[in-house]
Amino acid sequence: MFTRAIVRTPGENFCDGITTSRLGRPDRRKTLEQHTAYCDALRDCGVEVSVLTADERFPDGCFVEDTAVVTEDCAVIARLGAPERRGEEEAIADALAAFRPLRRIEEPATLDGGDVMRVSDQFYVGLSKRTNAEGALQLTSALSEHGHVVSTIPVNGVLHLKTGVTFVGDNTLVATGEFAGRDEFNAFCRIDVDETAAANCLNVNGTILVPAGFPKTASALRRLRRPVIELDISEFRKMDGGLTCLSLLF
Ligand code: CIR
């Protein structure tokens, strides 16, 4: 069960962050409304939400997931793969220090939390443009001390591993594109979706948050007989972000 979340309010310059999408510029008012609705949904799932203020040095700072990997034993502070995002992790490390002993990913390693998918004691780490093999190795060293197992998965066509595949509980993965039908995931029940932006779902204490606008994925998830909340995150998608990216849950 998650009891806490850390999120960060999108800054005035959110639209100056990194993006490959061609969906246009985020609207400031809608961005803030969607962020507030996201925080409310986390609270509805029983999570106490700490909202950090924006830091205008970091337009991508609201995508806090990338800055750390938090387990019940420790918080591993990331060294972000995009050089212009480095530094975002410091405010997060300060916030997490109250709750967990900190470990750090050190140069030359890079690691973004969006590349780390946890399934119980198993961690899948995507080797992507943002996360390198040394990053996976250093994460393995930090987590294996606590009995966790880490394996790597190549990521080619999307930003992060969890852009294309997420674990929603009940031994079930939601997967799209290069991750649908992948051998490494044969042991799971699978919801393979062709709505590519819909695979980034978030399981919060048994409730599944799914991005709004993807009816096939939402109805496949409802068949799991678990509560499903659809959240509009159109403005975050414009900056390549999804549901998991917006919080650190622990
Ligand atoms: C970036 O390119 O780093 C941000 N604009 C989006 C990060 C999204 N984070 C995530 O998928 N975990």
Q: Is there an atom of ligand 1 within 6 Å of 197 CB? A: no
Alpha helices in 46-170 (DSSP H): 88-96, 133-144, 161-164
What confidence score (pLDDT) does residue 181 get?
86
Q: How far is the CA of 164 from the centre of ligand 1 (A)?
A: 13
Asked whether the beta carbons of 8 and 49 are under 8 A apart, the reply is no
Cα angle 50-65-156, degrees, rounded to a multiple of 5: 170
Asked whether the beta carbons of 135 and 111 are under 8 A apart, the reply is yes
Mean pLDDT by 10 residues, the chain (250 residues): 98 98 97 98 98 98 99 98 98 98 98 98 98 98 96 97 98 96 93 94 98 96 96 98 98
Atom of ligand 1 nearest to the CA of 163: 11
Burial of 187 (0-12, 13-18, 19+ CB in 10 A): exposed
The amino acid sitting at 85 is R
Residue 160 known to be catalytic: yes
Residue 148 known to be catalytic: no
Q: How far apart are CA 182 and CA 161, in angstroms?
A: 13
pTM equals 0.98
What confidence score (pLDDT) does residue 122 get?
97
Q: Whose CA is nearest to atom 7 of ligand 1?
A: 241
Q: Per-domain residue ranges for the chain?
A: 4-249
What confidence score (pLDDT) does residue 233 get?
98
CATH number of 4-249: 3.75.10.10
Structure tokens at 60: 């991508």
Q: How far apart are CA 80 and CA 64, in angstroms?
A: 11
Structure tokens at 6: 């850390």
The Cα-based distances of 75 to 92, 106, 178 in angstroms read 10, 14, 29
Q: Whose CA is nearest to atom 2 of ligand 1?
A: 18
What confidence score (pLDDT) does residue 84 get?
98
